[in-house]
């Protein structure tokens, strides 16, 4: 029987909703019968619409425990022995299982209680909040204005298989190739007892996740990342449709169907977009939906200082977060049953980044201090084409807070890269030319700039019809025109800039971390989807998918937990530096600003697009010295370890993230994806594994410790 025939039969069976318990029998059949016909028959029978996280009435506790053990123990197998304290959460009885806790709405109160806390107001945080608000009170804590997030600056779009000529497998293949085979294509093709990767894909397409997961877990745990890629690529179309239902408006073609663009690394047109302002449109729609939801409370201008954590029997638990209201200079403590970190990336460890000013790595740094596992931080994506202000006819008067992004879609629409002598260079580096993945294009531009001693290259789209350019890229055209450049008849000066962190807080299949009660989604998370390099427009897709996948486990955790309203006194409170005398505050702020610039300079010079072991070790030493000098300066002027201010907290987080990047880069002795080192210029199969940083693996400094201290536990 042909694969196409099996596929059609499977799609027919996919309309059937068999009892959930059948998955155990089918899983047994797949493992017990090595012959291909029997295995394929079981595969076809497995095509049922059973989403076990949403319709889990038949999914037993034993099965769930197996899943949890794999996600938690296999991926986060470690523990740090600390003084055991009574956990703040206890299992509820069935009678009060669905009781919700009311939040404190007193604006003058310095402690607030919620069922769910979301740190970050980008696509991941907002989408998650809308779902969990159906089950409890939600606080969204955001550092600046709610719309100030990486999402709002995303130009390209959301990648999803929505065209009949496209396929999930093609999207998967593009993702894995762009990710530099951190999960090898040959592994995707491996057969388990006669069950090919097509079988796994069938099961994923059928939403029969437990069967697919069982196969992967039993026969080759390395396939976990392939499983994640399958899940994200499969669920993507549904997540896009949900956005449209919420109110997001995307571009349509003359035929009335969604207009699908193509970007670098993609083999098909699959980018859903709203001109070149997709992120802004998604953010608008989600914020409106949040505003209409009475169970969600937005706290703007609240900077997250540190997570509130405790330990019990070697396990870490999260109970909320301390924040600084930057408008009132008030410390506000949020206590919750579940916390989701969706705080974005850390682009500002570099001097030039497309990220907004809020992207200082706060989520990754807080999680690291809270004993969370961090992964793949060496994979920093530099977007190849940020607007180079030096090449504009009219130079900006003031330096930008963040570089202006020239979306990947310009090259996908036919844009060509030239050096300043108008020589096209990308075909010299890669047969895909301008449509090569971002890491290839960024390194190619970097090589051109160094060889020719130039500050920027040129991206030309002017050979396309004027109307097409202005309709596809109105935002870019308007920004360039502000500085005297008409992109319909002139080339755009571009240069690489820090753009996206492929690494982050190590997440399980449903956004869970090794810290109980703490979930992650979006750029702050490392789910394994991106591998060593993110495929264009896969970031919004990943954020949507994992925000949605984190919902059910969060609800389960919330429903099975009790919140002690007296628990807020268990941690010492951070202090404002109001007790400092004279010019101490001004001196500290001035020194902190200079230290930040110096750290960014070190990262760009020694931990940039092309690296070497000697430069990485130099960066490690320089950052250590810079951090020690900065901390010593603060303490000599009366700074207390429990003191907080926005600038100092951001500096701590930038130091933490910079060290995580350097340590991860030093640990990878090969060149893969975004990490290219001159000392190990080739891929090595034996190195095809994620980089893991456990909480105890880095030198402890003040910047790497939580501000507060747990001073007491609840009586047993």
Asked if the model's pLDDT at residue 67 lies above 60, the reply is no
At residue 711, the pLDDT reads 58
For the ranges 361-365, 477-481, 533-537, the lowest mean pLDDT is seen at 533-537
At residue 118, the pLDDT reads 98
User: Cβ–Cβ contacts within 10 Å for residue 107, how many?
Assistant: 7
**Dist. CA 661–CA 675, nearest whole Å:** 10
Tell me the pLDDT tens digit for each residue of 183-228: 433 322 322 233 344 455 555 444 445 555 555 545 454 566 677 7
Q: What percent of the chain has pLDDT over 70?
A: 77
Q: What is the largest CA-CA distance in the chain?
A: 83
Tell me the three-class secondary structure of 671-689, residue by residue: CECCEEECCCCCCCHHHCC
Asked if the model's pLDDT at residue 139 lies above 60, the reply is yes
**Dist. CA 401–CA 351, nearest whole Å:** 10
At residue 563, the pLDDT reads 72
Which has more confidence, 666 or 188? Answer: 666
Average pLDDT over residues 102-120: 74
At residue 464, the pLDDT reads 96
Domain boundaries, the chain: 3-72+158-272, 386-496, 574-704
At residue 666, the pLDDT reads 97
**Dist. CA 243–CA 154, nearest whole Å:** 15
User: Cβ–Cβ contacts within 10 Å for residue 444, how many?
Assistant: 22
Q: Is residue 438 flagged as an active site residue?
A: yes
Confidence of residue 93 (pLDDT cuts 50, 70, 90): very low
Question: Which residue in this structure is represented by tokens 């001073």?
Answer: 711
At residue 169, the pLDDT reads 84
At residue 15, the pLDDT reads 39
Strands 515-516 and 457-460: unpaired
CA distance to 119, 301, 645, per residue, from 331 (Å): 16, 12, 10
Average pLDDT over residues 497-525: 94
Strands 296-299 and 330-341: unpaired
**Dist. CA 238–CA 163, nearest whole Å:** 13
Contact yes or no for 692/375 (Cβ under 8 A): yes
**Dist. CA 312–CA 72, nearest whole Å:** 16
**Dist. CA 26–CA 133, nearest whole Å:** 36
Confidence of residue 329 (pLDDT cuts 50, 70, 90): very high
CA distance to 131, 623, 629, 669, 679, per residue, from 617 (Å): 45, 10, 18, 13, 13
Average pLDDT over residues 504-515: 92
Asked if the model's pLDDT at residue 694 lies above 70, the reply is yes
Nearest to 131 by CA among 554, 522, 587, 527: 554
Asked if the model's pLDDT at residue 647 lies above 90, the reply is yes
Average pLDDT over residues 259-280: 89
Q: What percent of the chain has pLDDT over 90?
A: 58
The residues with which 417 forms a beta bridge, in sequence order, are: 459
Tell me the pLDDT tens digit for each residue of 421-460: 999 999 999 999 999 988 899 999 999 999 999 999 999 9
Question: Which residue in this structure is represented by tokens 């299992």?
Answer: 91
Average model confidence (pLDDT) across the chain: 81
For the ranges 286-295, 493-502, 703-712, the lowest mean pLDDT is seen at 703-712
At residue 225, the pLDDT reads 67
Which long-range CB contacts under 8 A does 309-313 form with residues at least 24 apart?
309/370, 309/371, 309/515, 309/706, 309/710, 310/85, 310/87, 310/88, 310/570, 310/710, 310/713, 311/80, 311/82, 311/83, 311/84, 311/85, 311/371, 312/84, 312/85, 312/86, 312/87, 313/84
At residue 54, the pLDDT reads 36
At residue 75, the pLDDT reads 34
Q: Which of 127, 333, 438, 443 is catalytic?
A: 438
Average pLDDT over residues 55-78: 37
- Residues written for the chain: 716
Residues 6+ apart with CB under 8 A from 491: 418, 458, 459, 460, 462
Tell me the pLDDT tens digit for each residue of 401-417: 899 999 988 998 999 99
- The whole model's pTM is what? 0.81
**Dist. CA 393–CA 391, nearest whole Å:** 7
Confidence of residue 272 (pLDDT cuts 50, 70, 90): very high
**Dist. CA 121–CA 114, nearest whole Å:** 17
Which DSSP string do the residues of 439-459 spell out, in sequence order?
Answer: HHHHHHHHHHHHHHT-S-EEE
DSSP code at position 567? G
CA distance to 19, 37, 47, 194, 205, per residue, from 6 (Å): 22, 11, 11, 15, 13
**Dist. CA 160–CA 243, nearest whole Å:** 12
At residue 562, the pLDDT reads 77
Tell which CATH architecture fits domain 386-496.
Alpha-Beta Complex (3.90)
DSSP code at position 573? P
Which has more confidence, 102 or 515? Answer: 515
Question: Which residue in this structure is represented by tokens 């996600």?
Answer: 71
Which has more confidence, 26 or 489? Answer: 489
Asked if the model's pLDDT at residue 9 lies above 80, the reply is no
Tell me the pLDDT tens digit for each residue of 346-398: 999 999 999 999 999 999 999 999 999 999 999 999 999 999 999 999 999 88
What is the chain's percent helix, strand, coil content, to nearest 5?
40, 15, 40
At residue 30, the pLDDT reads 38
Asked if the model's pLDDT at residue 486 lies above 90, the reply is yes
At residue 25, the pLDDT reads 36
At residue 109, the pLDDT reads 60
Fold of 574-704: Methane Monooxygenase Hydroxylase; Chain G, domain 1 (1.20.58)
With H, G, I as helix, E, B as strand and everything else as coil, classify residue 495: strand
């Amino acid at each position: 029987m042909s694969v196409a025939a099996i596929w059609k039969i499977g799609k027919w069976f996919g309309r059937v909703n068999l009892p959930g318990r059948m998955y155990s029998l089918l899983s047994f059949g797949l493992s017990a019968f090595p012959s291909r016909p029997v295995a394929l028959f079981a595969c076809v029978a497995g095509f049922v619409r059973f989403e076990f996280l949403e319709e889990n009435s038949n999914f037993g506790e034993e099965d769930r425990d197996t899943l949890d053990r794999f996600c938690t123990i296999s991926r986060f197998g470690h523990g740090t022995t600390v003084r055991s304290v009574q956990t703040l959460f206890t299992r509820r009885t069935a009678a009060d299982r669905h009781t919700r806790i009311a939040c404190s709405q007193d604006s003058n109160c310095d402690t607030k209680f919620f069922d769910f806390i979301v740190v970050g107001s980008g696509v991941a945080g907002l989408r998650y909040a809308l779902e969990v608000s159906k089950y409890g009170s939600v606080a969204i804590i955001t550092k600046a204005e709610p719309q100030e997030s990486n999402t709002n600056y995303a130009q390209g779009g959301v990648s999803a298989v929505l065209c009949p000529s496209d396929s999930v497998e093609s999207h998967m293949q593009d993702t894995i190739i762009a990710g530099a085979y951190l999960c090898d294509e040959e592994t995707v093709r491996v057969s388990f007892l006669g069950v090919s990767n097509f079988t796994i894909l069938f099961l994923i397409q059928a939403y029969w996740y437990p069967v697919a997961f069982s196969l992967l877990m039993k026969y080759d745990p390395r396939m976990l990342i392939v499983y994640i890629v399958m899940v994200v690529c499969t669920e993507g179309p549904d997540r896009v449709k949900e956005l449209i239902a919420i109110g997001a408006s995307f571009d349509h073609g003359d035929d009335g169907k969604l207009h699908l663009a193509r970007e670098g690394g993609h083999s098909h047109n699959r980018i859903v977009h709203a001109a070149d302002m997709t992120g802004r449109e998604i953010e608008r729609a989600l914020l409106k939906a949040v505003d209409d939801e009475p169970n969600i409370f937005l706290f703007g201008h609240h900077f997250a200082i540190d997570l509130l954590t405790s330990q019990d029997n070697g396990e870490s638990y999260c109970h909320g977060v301390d924040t600084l209201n930057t408008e009132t200079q008030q410390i506000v403590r949020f206590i919750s049953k579940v916390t989701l970190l969706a705080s974005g990336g850390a682009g500002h460890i570099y001097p030039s980044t497309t990220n907004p000013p809020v992207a200082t790595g706060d989520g990754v740094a807080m999680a690291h201090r809270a004993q969370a596992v961090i992964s793949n931080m060496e994979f920093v994506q530099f977007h190849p084409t940020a607007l180079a202000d030096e090449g504009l006819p009219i130079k900006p008067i003031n330096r930008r807070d963040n570089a202006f992004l020239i979306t990947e879609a310009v090259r996908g629409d036919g844009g060509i890269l030239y050096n300043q002598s108008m020589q096209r260079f990308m075909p010299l580096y890669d047969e895909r030319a301008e449509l090569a993945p971002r890491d290839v294009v960024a390194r190619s531009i970097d090589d051109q700039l160094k060889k020719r001693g130039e500050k920027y290259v040129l991206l030309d789209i002017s050979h396309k019809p004027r109307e097409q350019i202005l309709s596809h890229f109105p935002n870019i055209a308007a920004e360039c025109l502000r500085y005297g450049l008409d992109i319909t008849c002139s080339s755009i000066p571009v240069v690489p800039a820090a753009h996206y962190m492929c690494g982050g807080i190590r997440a399980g299949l449903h956004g869970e971390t090794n810290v109980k009660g703490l979930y992650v989604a979006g750029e702050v998370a490392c789910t394994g989807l991106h591998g060593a390099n993110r495929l264009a427009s896969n970031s919004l897709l990943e954020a949507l998918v994992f925000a949605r996948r984190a919902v059910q486990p969060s609800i389960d955790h919330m429903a099975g937990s009790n919140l002690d309203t007296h628990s807020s006194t268990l941690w010492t409170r951070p202090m404002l530096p109001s007790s400092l005398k004279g010019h101490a505050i001004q001196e500290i702020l001035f020194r902190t600003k200079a230290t930040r610039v110096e750290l960014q300079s070190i990262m760009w010079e020694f931990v940039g697009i092309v690296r070497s072991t000697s430069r990485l070790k130099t960066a490690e030493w320089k950052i250590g010295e810079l951090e020690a000098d900065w901390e010593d300066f603060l303490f000599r002027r009366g700074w207390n370890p429990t003191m907080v201010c926005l600038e100092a907290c951001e500096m701590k987080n930038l130091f933490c993230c910079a060290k995580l990047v350097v340590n991860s880069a030093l640990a990878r002795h090969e060149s893969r994806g975004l990490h290219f080192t001159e000392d190990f210029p080739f891929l090595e199969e034996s190195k095809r594994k994620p980089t893991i940083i456990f909480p105890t693996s880095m030198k402890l400094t003040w910047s790497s410790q939580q501000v507060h201290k747990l001073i007491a536990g609840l009586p047993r």
